[in-house]
Structures are given as C-alpha cells and as structure tokens.
Amino acid sequence: MDDKQKRKIKFNRRKFLKSVGATTIGTILGFPSILKYARGERMFSRPVFKRFFLLLAELVLSFLVVCAFLTECIAQQPSIQQLKDKLIMANKILDAEGLAKPLGHISVRIPNTETFLITRNVAPGMSVLDDILVCNIDGKVIEGKYSRTFSEVVIHSEIYKKRKDIQSVAHTHSLHVIALSMTETPILPASFEAIELGPGPIAIYKKIAFIDKPEQASEICDLLGPNKAVMLKGHGAVIVGKSIEETTILSYKLELAARLQLLAASIGKIAPFTEDEKKPINEFLEAVEKRGVTSTSYGRAWLYYQHVLK
C-alpha cells in the first residue's frame, strides 16, 4: 500500500466529530417537533403505529447521544504527537530541576493500548523528538529510529502491566530523596508536598540493585499502594501519575518534600499531619482536580515550565 492509498483510508477524526455532532444537534433540536407531529392528527391513526414511531425516534436519539459522548471522549485523548511533545518537555523539566541529570527516565502510556513512549538511552536534558521510541507492554522497542532504550525499562513496563490506572512513570535520582533513603527514613505526610504524593509514608525499596529484572520492578509496583511514589534505597525513586504532567511535577514535589523533611529534622522532631489535619487538604486537592488540569498545582506548574523552558 503506497502513501496515497494510506491517506485515502486514514481516519479523519475532525470530520467525523463534526458530522456526528451536527447530526446529534439536529436530531435534538428537531425531536420536539417529531413528537408533536407523531401525537398530532396527521400521524398514523392506529395507536400501535404511534408507539412504534415514538420508540424508533427515541432509539435513534439515544444512539446519537451515545455516539456524541464516545466521540467526545476520543477527542479529549491526546494525539501521539502531543504525547511526544509532552515527553520531551517532561525530560527538560526533570533535567532543569536536577532530578535526572544526566541519569533518569520518564515514559507515558499511549491511551487505550498496551504500549508506551520513552526515549532511547540518552540523558533527559539531551532528548529530542527523534529519540522517542514506542515500547510494548514487555518493554521491547517496536517502533522508532533506535533499537534500544534504558536497561531499567522494566520499571515502566511492569507498572503499566499491573496498574491500568497509571498513565506515566518516572525514575529519578534526586539528591535529598537518596539522602533520606540511605538512613531508611521514609518521607512522611508532614507537608503539603508530601500529602500530594499519597496518604501515608512513602515506602522504601530496600534491596540494593540495578532495577533491570521484571520481578524487581513488580516488587516496587506492589510497594506503591495508594501512594504515587516509592523510594529506592541509596538509588533514587519511582514516581507515577494519571498523566505525564502529574508524574513530572510530583517528581519535583517528592524531592521538595524530602528537602523540607531534612531541614525540619535538623530543628526538631517531625510532626506528621493527623488524619483530621489531612482531611481539609485532601478535600481541597480533590476539588481542584475536578476543575481541570490547569487548576491543579501540577497543572499550573506544568504551564510555568512550558513558559520558561520553551
């Protein structure tokens, strides 16, 4: 099949959305008139025909509404190119904050697939669009200019396998997180930054190892629980999120929480938030989450980095 043929059969989402949207709006606007006509004198005189016509009209309307809903869901999914652009921006942010300079990596799941995007094994701050690869759920490169990615790709693939709710994974080597992990001191829910990472202390993976085996990555995934990060003893951290924006900014929040905890510990005993103290914070975070990405702390931070790193 040549390129010309491929272009002919390529699905045009914009035209499809316009077509379904126009049909749905037209049906909704005309539905009262249809009902009025069906109930009037000019419709079939027998009640059975009236009922049939009304039922048919309702089924058609229901079908169109469902189509409109599904196409809206499709429209809200980011395109592959958008995900690639975000992946490069995420790498720049991790580099700028010293979280992956020069070692570390981040990935993003391709929505509704068993694949994800990640760069080849290059320093995050150096990555460009041509460095991006597509990997399958086993971490094997299936598309891209290069044939190899990071040896620790299993961190990403195993988490995507076990946690369908996770859309992005990062592995960082941030200074203060490593310092705390060396004393096996978990990051406690004692700051707003720590609360954003989850309800409880951040678990520590205490096996000293290079994470290149699926069973190791699976153990790390199990340690996540309801939290969004796991500390790796003497090594770094793994951070996850529902979007690449969230994962990227939480990677910075994790480092900030560790730094604040170290500073506080030099003054006195750490006093983690009580459950009563956590409640209004969590309620606030849930409320801003519902308002959309730009209302959240990570959404605003993402926009900031886009502005300063463009």
Eight-class DSSP state of 137: T
Contact between residue 169 and residue 240 where contact means Cβ atoms under 8 Å apart: yes
Residue 213's pLDDT band (cuts 50, 70, 90) = very high
The residue-averaged pLDDT of 99-115 equals 96
The pLDDT, as a whole number, for residue 54 is 64
**What are the tens digits of pLDDT across the range 46-83?**
565 556 666 676 676 666 655 554 544 444 457 999 99
**Residue 1 pLDDT exceeds 70:** no
Q: What's the whole-number average pLDDT of the chain?
A: 84
Question: In angstroms, how far is the first alpha carbon of the chain from the final one?
Answer: 38
- Length reported for the chain: 310
Fold of 80-309: L-fuculose-1-phosphate Aldolase (3.40.225)
Distance of CA 14 to the CA centre of its chain: 24
As given in the structure block, the two tokens for residue 53 are: 């016509």
Query: What is the per-residue pLDDT across 227-279, written as a single tens digit (0 to 9) for each?
Result: 999 999 999 999 999 999 999 999 999 999 999 999 999 999 999 999 999 99
Question: Would you list the domain boundaries of the chain?
Answer: 3-76, 80-309
Angle at 253 between CA 248 and CA 254, to 5 degrees: 95
Q: What are the residues whose beta carbons fall under 8 Å from the beta carbon of 139, sequence distance 6 or more? A: 149, 153, 154, 156, 157
Determine the pLDDT at residue 66. 54
pLDDT at 19 over 80: no
Alpha helix (H) residue ranges in the chain: 3-9, 13-39, 47-76, 80-96, 154-162, 175-182, 192-196, 214-224, 244-265, 275-291, 297-309
